[in-house]
Structure 1
Amino acid sequence: MILRISLQERLVYRGDFALGTLMRFLPIVTQVFLWYAIFQTLGNRSIAGYRYEEFVAYYLLTMVTRAFSSMPGLSSQIAGQIRSGEIKKFLIQPIDPIGFLLLSRIAHKLAYYSVAAAPFALVFFLCRNYFPGWPDATTFAAFLVSLVLCFLLGYFLEACLGLVGFWLLEVSSLLFVYMLFSFFLSGHMFPIDMLNDAEPWATIVNTLPLQYLAYFPSAVLLGKIKGWALVYGLTLEALWVLFFILLSRYLWLRGTRRYSAYGG
C-alpha cells in the first residue's frame, strides 16, 4: 500500500521527469568534445584500456547508474525529521521507518524510469555507434544485479548519514563532504581505472564502496570486468549492502534510545 500510494503521488506531480531527464544529458556533450580533443592529441591511443567511443559510452552509462544510486534529499529528510521531532510518528506507529522510506524510494525510481524511459531510449539510440554492441546474456544479467545492488547501497548508505542526525542534529556539512568525495570516487567524473597506476590512491578508491555507485555497473556492461573479477566485485558489493543495512539498524536502535522527543 505504501509503495502504491507513493508511486501514484510521484506520477501525478512529477510530469517534468521526461524533459528534465533529456536536459540532464546535455553536459555529456561537453565531455564528448573534451575527450575527443584529448584522444586526437594522443593519436587515438587508448587511455586506461578505454577507446574514445568507450569513454563516451561510459559517461552515458554512468547517467543511468547514478540515477539508480542517487537518493536526493534522503539524508537531509531523515536528519530534518529527527531535528524537528517529526520522527516521533515512527515511534508510536507500527511502521518501520527504514522500510517505509525504502518503499518510497522504490516508488520514486519506478515513477522516474517509467516516465524517463523514452528520453533515455532516444539518447542511447542517437549514441548507439559509441557502444560496441549488445553484451552477452551473462554480462547483461550481471549488470542488472549490480544496478539493484547499487540502488540498495545508495539508499542504505545515505540513510546511515541521515541517522547520524540523532547525534549531530545538523548533518549538512557531512553531506557536502560525502557528495564531494562521491562525485570523484564513484567514477562519475572519470573511470577509476585511470588510477590503477597511481598508488596508494588506486588501493584506497578500490577499498571504498563508492565505486559501486557509478563505475562498477558501467564497467560491467562495457565488458571491462569479467570472470572471477566480476564474481568478486558483485560479492563485495553485496557485502557492502549488507554492512550498511546492519549499520542503519544499529544507528536507528541506538539513536532512538537517546532521542529526547523534542520538536513540534
Structure 2
Amino acid sequence: MIARALTWWTILRICIEERMVYRGDFALGTLMRFLPIVTQIFLWWAIFESIGHGSVEGASIVGYSFQNMVAYYLLTMLSRAFSSMPGLASGIALQIRNGEIKKFLIQPVDLIGFLFLNRVAHKLTYYAVAAMPFALVFFLCRSFFVGGWPPFPIFAAFVASLLMGFLIGFFLEICIGLVGFWFLEVSSLLFIYMLLSFFLSGHMFPLDMLKEPFSTIVDYMPLKYLAYYPAAIFLEKVQGPDLVRGLLVEAAWLLFFFVAAQVMLHRGLKRYSGYGG
C-alpha cells in the first residue's frame, strides 16, 4: 500500500512539474478568456431592458434578475474550468489506434489511474496559475452577486458539486475515449458530446428556461452537473430536498461512469491486439 501510494505521488509530482514549465503565459490567457463575458453582459442587458421597458431594475426571467444572470455566467465559467477535459478522450483513442496503449500493460499504474493523476496535476496547476485572474474578475464583478456569499452549508454543497463535476467530466470522457477499442475513430462521437454539452450543461443559458418535458429529461441527465448545477447551488436556486436530491443524483452518475470506465477498460484490453515493436 505504501509503495503504491509513493508511486502515485511520484507520478503526480512529475505531472505538476511538467505543467508548470509551460504555464508561464497562462495567467494572461486565462484573463483573456473572460472577455466574452462582456458580450454576454451587453446581450442580457438588452434583453432585460426590453422586458423592463427601458430599465433592468425589477426585470426577471424565470427568477433570474440581470445581476443573477451575469453572476450565473461567471459561476458556469468556474464550473466548466473544473469539469472540462480538453484532449482527454481524443488522446486515449489515439493511443489505442497507435498502439501506445501497450505501455499501460506493464506500468505500475493502470491507464485510468495514470490519466487521473495527470488531470489532477493539470487542474492543480491551472488553478495555481489562474487563481489571480479569477479573483480579479470576480472582484470587479462583485456587485452582480447581490446575495453575497451563501451560507456555509450551501457553499459546502457548491464545492462538493464542483468536485463531483470534475470527476463526472473525467470518467465520462474516459468512457468516450475507450470506445476506441471498438471503433478506430471517436471524433464524431466526441463532437456530438461537445455539442450536447454546450447546450444541455447550462453553459449557454440557465436550464431553468427549459419547458416540460425537456426540463425533466435534462434534469436527470449528467450534463447539467458540468456547469449549471454548481452555479445554481451558489445562487441558491436549488434548496432543501431538491438540493439533496440533486447531489445524490450527481453522486449516482459519478458512480455509474466510474464503473462504466472500469468495465470498458477491462473488456477493451481483452480484445486489444498489438503487433510489432
TM-score (ref. length: structure 2) = 0.93
Q: Which residue of 2 aligns with 1:189?
A: 204
Q: Which residue of 2 aligns with 1:27?
A: 36
2-structure distance, mates of 1:231, 1:16? 40
Alpha-carbon displacement from aligned partner over 1:76-134 (angstroms, at most 9, x marks no partner): 01000000000000112232110110011000000000000000000000000000211
Q: Which residue of 2 aligns with 1:2?
A: 11
Deviation at 1:51, TM superposition (A): 0.3
Report runs of 4+ in structure 1 exceeding 4 Å deviation: none
Partner letter of residue 160 of structure 2?
V
Deviation at 1:262, TM superposition (A): 4.2
Q: Secondary structure at the match of 1:257?
A: helix
Q: How does 1:179-218 map to 2 (within 5 A)?
A: 179-195=194-210, 198-218=211-231
2-structure distance, mates of 1:262, 1:30? 52
Q: Which residue of 2 aligns with 1:52?
A: 66
Identity over the aligned pairs, expressed in percent? 68
Partner letter of residue 122 of structure 1?
L
Contact 2:220–2:249 (CA under 8 A) maintained in structure 1:
no
In structure 2, the gaps of 5 or more residues are: 1-9
1:134 to 146, 149, 157: 149
Contact 1:166–1:255 (CA under 8 A) maintained in structure 2:
yes
Partner letter of residue 174 of structure 2?
A
The aligned length equals: 262
Contact 1:65–1:214 (CA under 8 A) maintained in structure 2:
yes
Partner letter of residue 163 of structure 2?
V
2-structure distance, mates of 1:173, 1:147? 28
1:159 to 174, 179, 182: 174
1:17 to 26, 34, 40: 26
Q: How does 1:217-228 map to 2 (within 5 A)?
A: 217-228=230-241
1:105 to 105, 119, 124: 119
Q: Secondary structure at the match of 2:182?
A: helix
Q: Which residue of 2 aligns with 1:38?
A: 47
From the superposition, tell whether residues 262 and 63 of structure 1 become closer, same or farther in structure 2 (CA, over 3 Å): farther
Of the two structures, which has the highest relative contact order with CA contacts closer than 8 Å and spacing of 6 or more? 1
1-structure distance, mates of 2:64, 2:126? 30
1:258 counterpart = 2:271? yes
1-structure distance, mates of 2:188, 2:243? 35
